[in-house]
Amino acid sequence: MKIVGLDQHCVNPGDLSWEEIETLGEYTVYERTNSVSDVVERSKDAEAILVNKVEITNDVMSQLPKLKYIGEMATGYNNIDIEAAKRRGIVVTNVPAYSTDSVAQLVFAHILNISNSVDHYATETRNGEWSRQPDFCYWDTPIIELSGKTIGIVGLGNIGMKVAMIAHSFGMDVSAVTSKETHNLPTWIRKSTLTGLLSSSYIVTLHCPLTTDTRQMINSKTLQLMHPNSILVNTGRGGLVDEDAVAAALQSKELGAYCVDVLNEEPPRSDNPLFKCDRAYITPHVAWASRDARSRLIHIAAGNIKAFIDGKPVNVVNGL
């Protein structure tokens, strides 16, 4: 089988091996593929392609007559027209749950940075502020204890549930917007509506897919439901929020902080309105990128390809 990886640099910038995939066929790796014409040229003889963020549209597929398989090297697959793939008999798979622990860890890295002002005090100490104090300790921001606070989780998939478990271990009250039935949830998770969750939570964290229904679910209207000191966390998809509305809410102090690892445009424009907000804490889409998580990603992706070759595909997202 001829396999082509179109944008593999972020998955493996050189610290991991492609051996598991190389044993399955003739594997050609491209670090980046930026144009539609390059996608078509590089994939024209491929039976299988692997993508991370490259868009595979119906038009692209129409120019790849040998294509039988698309492997999404991620959990989200909104960059692939899965209905067009289904019509063409092209199997599409994704890689679920590979980054659950890493993403949940970054969620709480952001939350703890806010609640304990870790970056602020590390900077203050380096600048000599503690050394100038008359007392043994120094603080000039509120120190927030998470125990007893309410965290609202939008989406209880693998990552959302992991975040819920960590929050519970901190002694937090956990609310969630989820399609799961109440009797299938732990007793310590309270099922809620989005309106109820936004209005009652000190921290709101987004872990749902980006769909037509969830696009900009956080906007100027829904932000008004949140308390002025609330923390909004987004490690899901940038499109879940209206960035202009969030920036405005931060500037007017109607939102306490925005902790985000994903933006609408990546890499972002230098004039993104969030960059002007002191209480916007932005990491460059790294929640998934631990070496452990990327190693699992490659291992599962290789397993997906092997299962397809064996005629028993797994992790299929388009019903074939």
The pLDDT tens digits for 76-102 are 898 999 999 999 999 999 999 999 999
pLDDT score of 297? 98
Instruction: Return the structure tokens found at 79.
Output: 């960059």
pLDDT score of 266? 95
Cβ pair 267, 245 in contact under 8 A: no
Grouped pLDDT means (10 residues each) for the chain, 320 residues: 97 98 98 97 98 97 98 94 98 97 98 97 98 98 97 97 98 98 97 98 96 96 97 97 98 98 96 97 98 98 98 96
Measured from the Cβ of residue 264, the count of other Cβ atoms closer than 10 Å reads 17
pLDDT score of 103? 98
* % of the chain beyond a pLDDT of 90: 98
pLDDT score of 30? 98
pLDDT score of 20? 98
pLDDT score of 168? 98
pLDDT score of 93? 98
Helices (H) and strands (E) in the chain, counts: 11, 12
pTM strictly above 0.85: yes
Cβ pair 235, 266 in contact under 8 A: no
User: Which residues are designated catalytic?
Assistant: 237, 266, 285
Cβ pair 3, 48 in contact under 8 A: yes
Measured from the Cβ of residue 251, the count of other Cβ atoms closer than 10 Å reads 15
Cβ pair 228, 253 in contact under 8 A: yes
pLDDT score of 26? 98
pLDDT score of 101? 98
Rg (CA), the chain: 22
pLDDT score of 11? 97
For residue 202, the SS3 value is coil
pLDDT score of 79? 94
